[in-house]
Amino acid sequence: LFVKNLLLPLAQIYDSTVVGIIIAWLLGKDLYGEYGVVKSTMFYIAMFASFGLGTTATKFIASKIQEQQNGLRQLINDIIYIAFIFSVVLAVILLFFSQWLADFVSAPQLGTPFKFLAIIIVFRALSTAQTGILSGFKSFKVIVFPVLLLILISSPSLNNLTICKISMSRILLSC
């Protein structure tokens, strides 16, 4: 409990503050603005793609365990299946409309980074569903390590991937 209550907020502060400051300093104001658009778009679409299954999974799995009902395995399979299908559908939509979305935000160079976000959205939706399932089992110690790993490793590397794609788009446009 101590680890969960202390380390997760600290890791989130690290991600949003330290990494954000470094990225802003390296990119400059224009490129950092583009990066912010890509990152916030990814978070909003991923939040929608998870379909609220994290909280739903926690509630229904905890209820099934408490009532000692059968069908727990089927419930877990359904949650993961719904999260996967819904996020893949949104990812495909984003793949097809990435250039339109980039034009809509008046940044046509962001079309390619938006395509990469489609892949990330699927993984984030599945991660949210998995965290909800584990929370329903009250396996908080098991949740801490993957969440910390996601925050500390995945997020900066996703930031780097996004930065590289935006930079490559800029370089190609300037040639």
Mean pLDDT of the 12-33 span: 75
Burial code (b: 16+ CB inside 10 Å, e: under 16) for 93-118 equals ebeeebeebbeeeebeebbebbbbbb
What band does 132 get if pLDDT is binned at 50, 70 and 90? confident
Task: Return mean pLDDT, the chain.
Answer: 75
Q: Are 17 and 9 in contact (CB under 8 A)?
A: no
Give the pLDDT of residue 151.
58
Residue type, 58: T
Quick check: 92 pLDDT over 90?
yes
* 8 vs 54, more confident: 54
For residue 144, which phi and psi values (nearest 5 degrees)?
-55, -50
